[in-house]
A and B are shown apart, each in its own frame.
Chain A
Amino acid sequence: MTIHATLSTGRRRFLQWGAAGAGAMALPGLARAQDKPSEIIVRAWGGAWGESLKAGVADPFTAATGIDVRLDFTEDNEIKPKLWAAVDQGRIPPIHVNWDTTTNATISALRGVTVDLSDLPNLEGLLPLAKPTGLDGYPLVNTYAYVYVCAYRPEAFPDGPPQSWTVMLDPKFKGRVALYDDGIGFNPIAVIAGGGTFDDVPDNMEPGYAFYRKLKENQPLLGEDADFTTWFQNGEIDLACTISVNARAARQSGIAVEWTVPAEGCKVDTDGLWVPKGLPENEEYWAKQFVNFALSEQAQAKWCSLLGLPPVYPGLAPPEDLVGDPSYPTTPEDFARLVSVPSPVLVENQPIWFARFSEIFQG
């Protein structure tokens, strides 16, 4: 099959999907649909993240609709206040779609700046994971799950992958361990590694703080996604708690990195898409169409396969290199081995946990 034929088939499928979707979204939507914007701006993360969104969703969306998709790599925490201010001040938001962590997206939903997505046709049949918890309707939609794995340099672990997160406390790894600089992805794990249980979260985080205090003596590095890749590449660290996508991307670019899920488990979380309020009517319509397209089988298969993450569209096979990988949960049993904290709990407690995390590591 030629590339042209593939695109034509994709376009036909998109038009079929679009027609069904537009019908479901009532007649005024059809009228708005005639007025296509020249482009849709989607906030995204850079590196392997942005490339996967471009190849899996943005480019096929452009091919099917003729609307260009521009990726805006503003940091997720920095776009948030800009969107809030734009909505509050009645200005047009700087982006059409925000690709966001579910926790941040939930905060924006609580603030009332997100458009309801309940009428998107492609929501039907998705895994329950797609539905945001603790919120009415779909002020955002989750698009896949991801796991904060234990990434390590195989050279530093000749006897095999680390079996427990407590290896971070080994003086052998002093100054060679890394965490996210806000503790995200590790707070509940620290509780378990510190001798507590998952039931202690969020009321008794003390075991986790005790673990952090011990870890501080081992002088960990604290950073963001890009830092972990740089640090592994430059031989600065042997071990990190990072999202599997970063570890996989590093390995794919030739850096010696492997990952594992230690005995205490790993935190599993979700990312999602949402549309800010305040867009012109036609732009909001096409922004929602973009989100709807991202939930289609075609987009979910390619996007999530490139990311190496389990999609919310059911029944899609994992990429070959991740079959059986514990960081790629697909069944309820797989998820049971991981640690999942509901978004409302995260939203309510993240500022408190962050404050304690800072006190320990900056104090």
Chain B
Amino acid sequence: MPLTWRFLDTIEALVAALWPARWRGATGWAFLMPALLLVGVLVIGLGYMLEYSLHELNLATYRLRDEYALTNYATFLNRPVYGTVLWRTVLGSVLVTGITLLLAFPYAYVLVRTRVPWVRKALLVTLFLPFFIGQVVRAYGWLIVLGREGLVNSLLTGLGLPAQDLLFHFPAVIFGLVQYMLPFAILLIVPAITAIPEDMERASESLGAPWPATFRHVVLPMAWPGLIGAGVVVFTLTMTDFAMPEILGGGTTDFFASAIYDSFFQISNPGLGAALSMVLVTLGSLIVAAVFALAGPGTLGIRGART
């Protein structure tokens, strides 16, 4: 018997010993187990957060009191600043998601459909390059480019125009976040466009539909799962972002993650930080659930789901 056969027989026997045939029905669950464990750890962490959030801080000892109370949630409701920051976060997330999808879709479309190899390569390099540069470094890069004495203002003043305040306000934060989220969105939209057979577009055009009509009635509906997926990812990442608002916002346009950070670290109140975290997680989950309810999970290509 050839050596390779004996080797394969040994492997097969080993697998049969480790995973008997009667367990085969559970094979799918075994593959799911790492993911379930990961989610389980997250759920346990969330449980701890919920527990912390129900205890008030004792300022005499800087420990959470043993008694259960809703004080931290009352603090969230009674202090308008949290509502303001939360509204800014949601508004920013909606804007970033919308702008990012608008920019990402044509990029992904050209990347998939182009017949020119160097264009595809250039688009791929441009897409992946930002992944090698961390968010904080990118934000500091924008400080250099958009600063008072940065590249853009140097160009403006060189042309005899007045220097502009391009940093430390809400639009600067949105700009930085869009630039950060764009590659994520493109990566999620590309498979959706790849899955659309080019023949479908040709068929539409051969039936007399101009390209805009083809785009509206063929490409866009078929790319919908990718757009929804990208939208959900960009929205949730933006909702929880900390670095861009912190660095490009100049300290006065914080997002909700900064309020959570401040509670945990600046004022050493883990109960309040946990309560604010629960608020953010709950709100984010509700919004995503609403998106799925409106768009239907079938838009993500989930088999058997109602669309």
Known: A222-B252, A230-B143, A362-B252. A77 touches B168 (CB 8 A): no
Known A175-B165, A236-B148; further 12 A-B contacts with Cβ < 8 A: A77-B265, A80-B265, A110-B62, A182-B266, A222-B250, A230-B143, A234-B150, A236-B167, A348-B59, A355-B267, A358-B81, A361-B251
**Contact status A351-B143, CB under 8 Å:** no
Q: A219-B252, A359-B80 are in contact. Are A182 and B265 (CB under 8 A)?
A: no
Classify chain B: how many residues form its interface, as a range.
Answer: 20 to 34
Which of A234, A347, A354, A362 interacts with B266 by CB under 8 Å?
A: A354
Contacts of B148 in A (CB 8 A): 234-236
A316 to B150, CA, bound (A): 43
Q: Which residues of B contact A77 (CB under 8 A)?
A: 265-266, 268
Pairs A–B under 8 Å by Cβ, sample size 22: A77-B266, A77-B268, A107-B62, A107-B268, A110-B61, A111-B62, A175-B165, A222-B250, A230-B143, A234-B149, A235-B148, A235-B149, A236-B147, A236-B167, A347-B59, A348-B59, A355-B267, A359-B80, A359-B81, A361-B251, A362-B254, A363-B84
CB of B164, distance to nearest CB on chain A (Å): 11
A223 interface hit (Cβ, 8 Å): yes
A211 to chain B minimum Cβ distance, whole angstroms, is 16
Closest to A356 in B: B81
Judge whether A110 and B60 touch: CB under 8 Å. Answer: yes
User: Chain B nearest CB: distance from A324 CB in Å?
Assistant: 34
Q: A235-B148, A236-B147, A363-B81 are in contact. Are A220 and B252 (CB under 8 A)?
A: yes
Is the pair B79, A359 in contact by a Cβ cutoff of 8 Å?
Answer: yes
On whether the beta carbons of A355 and B250 are closer than 8 Å, the reply is: no
Confirm or deny: A117 has a beta carbon within 8 angstroms of a beta carbon on chain B. Answer: no
- B80-103 contact mask (Cβ, 8 Å, vs A): 1 or 0: 110011000000000000000000
Among A81, A220, A236, residue most surrounded by chain B Cβ atoms (within 10 Å): A236
* Cβ-defined contact, B147 with A362, below 8 A: no
Give CA–CA (A75, B144) in the complex, Å.
24
A350 at the interface (CB under 8 A from B): yes
Among B61, B144, B168, max chain A CB count under 10 A is at B168
Whether A111 pairs with B61 at a CB distance below 8 angstroms is: yes
How far apart are the CA atoms of A175 and B81 in the complex, in Å?
A: 21
B262 is an interface residue with CB less than 8 A from chain A: yes
> Within the assembled complex, what's the spacing in Å between the Cα atoms of A235 and B163?
12
Instruction: For residue B215, give the distance in angstroms from its CB to the closest CB of chain A.
Output: 42
Say yes or no for B264: interface residue by CB 8 A criterion: yes
Chain B residue at minimum C-beta to C-beta distance from A233? B149
Given A81-B265, A234-B147, answer yes or no on A362-B62 (Cβ-Cβ < 8 Å): no
Report the contact-size class of chain A (Cβ under 8 Å from the partner): 20 to 34
Is B297 among interface residues, defined by CB-CB distance under 8 A?
no
* B-facing residues in A205-224 (Cβ within 8 Å): 216, 219-223
B299 at the binding interface (Cβ < 8 Å): no
The answer to whether A221 and B60 have CB atoms under 8 Å apart is: no
Please give the residue numbers on chain A whose beta carbons come within 8 Å of chain B beta carbons, in ascending order.
75, 77-78, 80-81, 107-108, 110-112, 175, 181-182, 216, 219-223, 230, 234-236, 347-348, 350-351, 354-355, 358-359, 361-363
**How far apart are the CA atoms of A235 and B61 in the complex, in Å?**
43
Residues from chain A with Cβ under 8 Å of B60 in the complex: 110
Residues of chain A with a CB closer than 8 A to B266's CB: 77, 182, 354
B121 at interface, CB cutoff 8 A:
no
**Is B270 engaged at the interface, CB distance under 8 Å to the other chain?**
yes
- Given known pairs A234-B143, A363-B80, the reply for A221 and B265 (CB within 8 Å) is no
B269 at the interface (CB under 8 A from A): yes
Q: Mark B148-179, 1 if CB is under 8 A from A, else 0.
A: 11100000000000000101100000000000
Q: Which of A107, A230, A362 contacts B84 (CB 8 A)?
A: A362
Assembly CA distance A363 to B254 (angstroms)? 10
Minimum C-beta distance from A220 to chain B (A): 7
B251 touches which one: A181, A347, A359, A363 (CB < 8 A)?
A181
The 3 closest A-B CB pairs, nearest first, are A222-B251, A77-B265, A359-B81
> Which residue of chain B has its CB nearest to the CB of A108?
B62
The closest CB in chain A to the CB of B63 belongs to: A111
- A107–B57 Cα distance when bound, in Å, is 13
Contacts of B264 in A (CB 8 A): 81
CA–CA, A77 and B250, complex, Å: 20
Residues of A within 8 A of B144 (CB): 234
Which of chain A's residues have a CB closer than 8 A to the CB of B267? 350-351, 354-355
Tell me the bound Cα distance from A355 to B75 in angstroms.
Answer: 10
Q: Which residue of A lies closest to B267 (CB)?
A: A351
* Measured CA separation A230–B80 after assembly (Å): 32
Residues of B within 8 A of A175 (CB): 165, 168
**With the chains together, A108 CA to B235 CA distance in Å?**
38
Q: Which residues on the B side are within 8 Å of A220 (C-beta)? A: 252
A362, B81: Cβ atoms closer than 8 Å: yes
B165 touches A362 (CB 8 A): no
**B268 and A80 within 8 A (CB):** yes
Residue of B nearest to A234 (CB): B147
B268:A112 contact, CB within 8 angstroms: no
The complex places the Cα of A108 from the Cα of B268 at a distance, in Å, of: 10
Chain B residues closer than 8 Å to A355, beta-carbon distance: 79, 81, 267
Closest to B153 in A: A235
Residue of A with least CB distance to B265:
A77
Residues of chain B within 8 A (CB-CB) of A235 are 147-149
B38 CB, min distance to chain A CBs, angstroms: 22
A111 to B81, CA, bound (A): 29
